[in-house]
Every structure is written in structure tokens, then in C-alpha cells.
A and B are shown apart, each in its own frame.
Chain A
Amino acid sequence: MRNTKKFIASAAAIATLIGLAACGNGGGLSATVDTDTANAKGEVVFWGWGNGIKETIAAFEKANPNITVKYSSTGTGADTATALQNAIAAGKGAPDVVMLEDATVPQFVVDGSVVDLSQFGADKLKDDFAAGPWAKMLQEGKPYALPIDSSPEVFFYNKAVFDKAGVDGEAIKTWDDYYEAAKKVRALGGDYYIANSIDYQPFLAQVWQAGSQPFKVNGENITIDMNDEGIQKYIALQQKLIDEDLINPKITNWTDDWYRSLGDGTTASLTIGAWMPTDLETGAAAGKGNWRVAQLPQWNEGDEASSEDGGSALAITSQSKNTAAAYKFAEFLTHGDGAKVMADHGTFPATTKLLEDKDFQSKKNEYFGGQQVNKVLVEAAERKVSAFQYLPYNPYAQSKYGDDVVPAFQGKKTLKDAIAAYAKTLADYGTDQGYTVTVK
């Protein structure tokens, strides 16, 4: 889902080859959208990934005996998006319901591959979902997908290492506190760092939290501004951390090394989405009992700014011949009884009903030393998020982040230059794709 190398390998290879064809097709196929969900029946083909899907489908088929769901586990978000692009280019073969990373929803809306869900009355569900994930479903005010999970950016830290370094994780309220903590953790010597070099999605989430709005998309017009106040604050902090050798440039997210360093505590904290607990429990099992979760540090003391990192959603493709049943299933998994099944299998839910559930919130997590993890995550999910948009070519942006920005974390160039170059790369690509791009 978030592995940048995957993108370079598969998305770049396939998507760029048939990207041209994708522009021509796709649109205009949704003329016959069947919205009669009450009489839905037949088969729904569903592409997705993750835990709990099969159990959710079983529950759905039990509740709706007229509908069968044919599920294909399509790998990560990147793989699924690539496969969907291929099917769109081929003109057939797309599923009825597809799981998408939130950030790739806009790109499929733009080329007409997914249908407007307000036809089914999805716009009325707005208040049932947390604000952060819901905002990412909208294009020009209309929902094109239903959020599966909410993914507020939070702060995970290794209490054992922090204790050794003399840092109180609970007391880290601002990014200045974070910087001071980084120095103390680094003073432990060896390979101890407060963090490793920042990945694409956490990068976006954190500039988002800083109030930056790097991409503004309005139809065919895109404004890329990677020089606003929020991003400048972000660059200043990260550059300071890089210059003083306070973040580990050698470790990249999602590698085996990364998991190892999370397990033994040499990477002592993480700023990442609220879906991380399951990954930590299985990937960094050795860290059991040491980890804790807290709110993301703030730029100004007393603020409660949050942002979203990752997250996934269900959309209905315009190739679907059974949209009514498709919507029924998508609604069940995200909003109906299926959402509870998903939550029971580790999904951090997006519906306010599940988020506010007392049992859910008070659940103690042994991996986190018995902390009531969900309580902290829910608080993060309910915080305010500022407006934010992703590029309609998010996979490309993700693949290029590694080329343009990561070298700055290795000290090969300044972060400011790297991000300026990155903005230019994104603008050039957008222009090539036929958008009118303005760079500020």
C-alpha cells in the first residue's frame, strides 16, 4: 500500500505504458447506474486487501442471501490501483466494488472510473463518519467513495527507550519538545534515533498538520505551492534534525530493517497513521509492552491540529453492471454491520458510532503495556483537520518522493532545495498529463 519501491516497479511500468489509453476511456460508461438497492441481487466482484474482509463478506451474505460477493485479494493499495487502471484501459475486467487508498480516489474520479455515490444517497451519511476521512471522499462536494477507516496522524513512542533517555513521552506537546527529546534519545549513542527518514505519506500528513496546502486541484487546474508557511515550518524543523544527526537516514519505512529497529527500540518513535498498531504488533513483536501512543506534537502550544495519513475507502466502478448490489455491499462494510466486523479485526473505524463505542474505547492493548490505545486514537480522529487535497496523480507523486526528497534526509542536499525540485517534478508531470499547473 505504501511501499514506494512497489510504485516504481509496477505502477511506473504498467501505468505509464497504458496511461495514455486510460485518458481516452473510462468516462461516460455510468449512464445506467442502478440505484434500486432494496431489490439488489446477483454477484458483486470486489477487489481489496487487509484483515477481516472474508469475515465481513460472510456476514454480508448471511444478511443478504440474494447477493454473493466474489472477493479477490489484490495485494496492496498500489497494486490494486494499478490493476484498476489496467482494467479501465482494457475497457473491461474492473470489479464492481474496489478498495482504494484515500489519496488515489481523486485520480479515479477525474477519469470517470468511479461513480458518484450521492445517487445512492451516500451524501446523507456525512454525519455518520468522522470528518477527516469523509473530507477525502469528496470531489466538488460529492462523495465518490465510502471510508473504511480513519487514519489520524499520531505519535507512537517506545517508553522503555524514552525512560532510559530521560524523556517523558506524555510531556511532548509541541514540535520543540520533540526536538529536545530527539537530542536526548540520540545521546544514548549507538543507533538510537527518535525517528528514521520520513516517508511520503507521513510527510504529507505532517505538512498538512502544519497547515500547509501544497496541492489545490480545481478540475483541470492544479496549483502546487510547496513554499507556504506550513511547509516552511516543517522544513526548518526537519532540517535541524537532519543537520544535528537526530534522525536515522539509513532506515526506510516498511523494510525489514525498519521493523527490526522498531522491535529493539533503536527507532524510538513514529509519527504515523492510527492504523499502525496491528503492523507494530506483528512486525515488531519484540517491542511488546514498550510502546505507547500519544497525540501528535503541535506547532503552537495548546493547538489541537490533526491530519490524516493513509486510510482506505470503497468505490464503485463505472464498469459495474450491478451497482445496486455493489453499493449495498460497500455500505455494509463501511457504514453498516460490517464495519463492526472490520473493527473487530483491527480496522480503526471511520464511523462515529463505532468510534464512540465505550467498549471499543476502553479496550486495553497488551502490546502497548495495557494502555487504552483506542481512546487516544479516537481523540485524534475527532480533532479538527484543515482543508487538504491530493494530486490526481498521487502514485506518481509517491514514486518520485523517494528520488527527490529522500536524498535530503541523507544530507545530500538541503530539504528546501529538494522540496523545490520535487514541486517542479510534479508540475512537469502534471503539465504532461494535460493539466494546467501553476507553481508558487
Chain B
Amino acid sequence: MSSATTASLSYEAREKAAKRAERARQKRIARDEAAERKRAAKSGFANVNNPRRSMLLTIVSAIFAVYCLFPFVYLIINATKTQADFTSTFGLGFGKTFALWDNIVTVFTYQDGIFGRWLLNTLLYVVAGAGGATLLAIMGGYALAKFRFPGRKLVFAVIIGAISVPGIALAVPQFLLFAKLNLTNTPWAMIVPSLISPFGLYLMWIFSEQAVPQELLEAARVDGASELRTFWQISLPLLAPGIVTTALFTIVATWNNYFLPLIMLKEDSWYPLTIGLNQWKDQASTAGGTAIQNLVITGSLITIIPLVIAFLCLQKYWQSGLAAGAVKE
């Protein structure tokens, strides 16, 4: 009994000593790093793993972080309020009641649960539209990067031109075109224009050029693999970071698309979340309308959560994707 106590005491003492030693080591490292930064400040050459610190940049970054998080915090706080609290209490303080769960339930049950329908619509547009856009961008970008065919330069010029035309400018001509094809008010009016992503194509082109070595393709051809098989089994895995980047771009663009559905869709059962929420918001500015800002706020919060999750999960690919192709080997 007593020996056990002594043993555990000495074990604790040892643990303490180890912790102390570790703290001392950390302190030493910090001191050395500080000294290195100081030297770097003088010489002008910094170690990339120990960059110089800038108070100014830290403050600017902090301000930017607050600026970015502010709307999110506002949404979270106000999603907990009832409609009465929303219009009677301070915007950044909590209300008299905590109604978050009620609000969430009401969002999904209001107007016979149309919010759920809008959520599914948005998912459909994202899967079919953004998914299709990503696939087309991968295949097109890969073909442009790895094959030589007449008209490549022309395609390049067209893509660069297309990137510089804002999508909104095309929405009205697109509407007239789709009306002639009897496609307005159908999901196709949302999906087909979403399939085109000039920026994604350009990104995949540049990425394929860097990420897939020509030698590897030649080796595959020598071994007798068909072009399709080379693409699926050899190139595609190499392109993964680029694909995630392109997918994130197109997903965000489709998820947040507002103007296109605004003019294409008039049937509320085909609305995406953006248009549906806007319509709810407008109830407060309509004569004889029922103000439901609490549902608009809660709905908005629910709307951005999938995007936040997508970003958090795919973040690391996103970063490596952005950096890929930055250096030419």
C-alpha cells in the first residue's frame, strides 16, 4: 500500500519534471526562433518555417476575420429569436426567449414544408449542375492540355473571353432562349446554364498540364491502354486536388446562384433556397403580408451550413489545389 503510494508519487514527480523540461525546451525554441526572426529582419532573408511576424498584418487579418464572421454570428444570434423578439430587441443580443428549435421546426413545416423541397431542389441543381460542370471541366481541360488538335488556340481565346463576361449579363438572353425552347420553369433552366464553367475549364487545363506527366501517358499508351482507360485510371487520380478545387468553385456558384433562377423559374416548387428565402423575406415588405423574418434568418443559417461543412471537409485539397501549378518544374 505504502510502496504503491511512493511509487505513484515518484511517478507524478517524474511526470512533473518531464513537463518542466518540456516547458523549458519550448521556451528555448521560442527564444531561438525569436532570435532567428530578429536576424532575418536585419538580413532580409526569412526562414519560411519561421516567418517574421507583423503586428500590422495580424491586426488586419483579425479585422478581416471579424468582418467575415460577423454576419454568421448575427445569423446564429437572431436564429434563436421569435418574430416578436426579432423586431423588438437589440440585433446582436439574445432575445427574451430561446426559440431556435421552434424556428427550425417551423422553417421545415411552414407552407406545407416547402423549405425541404427548396433544399432538395438546390441539392439537385448542385449535383447535376455543379457535378456536371466539374466533370465537363475535367474532361475538357484534360483534353486541351494533353492532346494536340487544330483549333486549340481558338478554344483558349474563347475561354478567356468567356471568363471575362459576367454570368449576369448572359442571364436575360439565356432566358429568352430558354423561353423559346419551352424550358423555363423546369429544372433544366437551372441545370443547363450551370453546366458551363469557363473558369473551371481553364483551371483544369492548367492543372492537367502540370499534374499529369506526358511520360506517364506515353508509358500507358505503350502498354496498350486505351485513351479512356488512361484518363480514368491514370490521369484522374493525379488530378484529384484540381478536381476538388473546381468542384468547390462550381458548387459554391450553383448553391448561391440567385439571378438565374430569379428570372428562369416562376413555380415555387422548383425554386432553389436563394429564391425561396428571398420570397419569404419579401412577405415583410408586402402589403397585407405576414412578416416571418425569424424564419428567413433561421432558413439562411440552415442554408449556409452545408457549404460550411463542404469547405471544412475539402479545405486541405482546396489549398493544395490552389498552390498546384504555381511552380513549373
Contact = CB atoms under 8 A, between A and B. Distances in A.
Contact of A346 (B184, B266, B288, B291): B288
Contact of A279 (B86, B262, B263, B287): B287
A57 to B, nearest CB: 13
A90 B287 contact: no
Residue among B175, B267, B289, B290 facing the most chain A CB atoms (10 A cut-off):
B289
Given A74-B266, A75-B279, A76-B282, A286 B288 contact: no
Interface in B270-311: 278-279, 282, 284-293
Interface string A83-109: 100110111110100000000000000
Interface in B231-264: 262-263
A273 B287 contact: yes
A263 B289 contact: no
A51 B179 CA distance: 29
Interface in B206-240: none
A282 B288 contact: no
B172 A14 contact: yes
Q: Which are the 8 A-B pairs with shortest beta-carbon distances?
A: A90-B179, A283-B291, A286-B88, A285-B84, A254-B285, A275-B288, A3-B285, A282-B291
A78 to B, nearest CB: 9
- Secondary structure at chain B's binding surface: helix, strand, loop or mixed? helix
Given A3-B285, A90-B180, A286-B84, A51 B290 contact: yes
B287 A312 contact: yes
Given A73-B268, A77-B286, A254-B285, A259 B291 contact: yes
A92 B266 contact: no
Given A2-B287, A91-B179, 6 more contacts: A1-B287, A10-B262, A18-B172, A149-B288, A282-B292, A285-B88
B175 A2 contact: no
Contacts of B168: 13
B82 to A, nearest CB: 8
B84 A86 contact: no
A312 B282 CA distance: 16
Interface string A121-162: 000000000000000000000000000010100000000000
A260 B291 CA distance: 12
A18 B176 contact: yes
A17 interface: yes
B87 interface: yes
Interface of B: 83-84, 86-88, 168, 172, 175-176, 179-180, 182, 184-185, 262-263, 266-268, 278-279, 282, 284-293
Contacts of A256: 86-87, 293
B179 A93 contact: yes
Contact of B290 (A77, A79, A282): A282
Q: Which of B88, B263, B266, B291 is the most central at the interface, judged by chain A CB atoms within 10 Å of its CB? A: B266
A214 B292 CA distance: 36
Interface of A: 1-3, 6, 10, 13-14, 17-18, 21, 47, 49-51, 72-77, 79, 83, 86-87, 89-93, 95, 149, 151, 254, 256, 259-260, 263-264, 273, 275-276, 278-279, 282-286, 310-312, 346-348
A13 B172 CA distance: 9
29 contacts: A2-B285, A2-B286, A13-B168, A17-B172, A21-B176, A49-B286, A49-B289, A51-B289, A73-B279, A75-B279, A76-B285, A79-B282, A86-B175, A86-B179, A92-B180, A93-B185, A256-B293, A259-B87, A260-B87, A276-B287, A278-B290, A279-B284, A279-B286, A279-B289, A279-B291, A282-B284, A285-B87, A285-B88, A346-B288
Which interface residue of A6, A21, A282, A312 has the most chain B CB atoms within 10 A?
Answer: A282
A1 B286 contact: yes
Nearest to A18: B172
Contacts of B83: 282, 285
B282 A263 contact: no
A164 to B, nearest CB: 18
Nearest to A79: B282
A310 B175 contact: no
A89 B185 CA distance: 16
Given A50-B289, A279-B287, A348-B288, A72 B267 contact: yes
Contacts of A49: 282, 286, 289
A72 B87 CA distance: 29
A289 B292 CA distance: 20
B278 A75 contact: yes
B189 to A, nearest CB: 11
Contacts of A259: 87, 284, 291
A347 B87 contact: no
A405 B218 CA distance: 71
A264 B293 CA distance: 17
B290 A76 contact: no
Contacts of A91: 179-180
A83 B278 CA distance: 15
A72 B266 contact: yes
A18 B175 CA distance: 11
Contact of A72 (B268, B284, B289): B268
A309 B2 CA distance: 92
A348 B287 CA distance: 11
A87 B291 CA distance: 29
Contacts of B172: 14, 17-18
A408 B33 CA distance: 62
Contacts of B182: 92
Contacts of B278: 75
Given A10-B262, A91-B179, A151-B287, A286 B282 contact: no
A279 B290 CA distance: 6
Contacts of B179: 86-87, 90-93
Nearest to A348: B288
Best-buried of A10, A83, A92, A286 by chain B (most CB within 10 Å): A286
A131 to B, nearest CB: 20
Contact of A263 (B87, B267, B279, B287): B87
Nearest to B262: A10
Contacts of A276: 287-288
B266 A90 contact: no
Nearest to B169: A17
A312 B286 CA distance: 11
Nearest to B279: A75
Q: Which of B279, B285, B292 is the most central at the interface, judged by chain A CB atoms within 10 Å of its CB?
A: B285
Nearest to A312: B287
Contacts of B285: 1-3, 6, 76, 254
B289 A83 contact: no
Nearest to B184: A93
A245 to B, nearest CB: 25
A73 B266 CA distance: 8
Query: Which interface residue of B175, B180, B184 has the most chain A CB atoms within 10 A?
Result: B175
A90 B249 CA distance: 31
Contacts of A282: 83, 284, 289-292
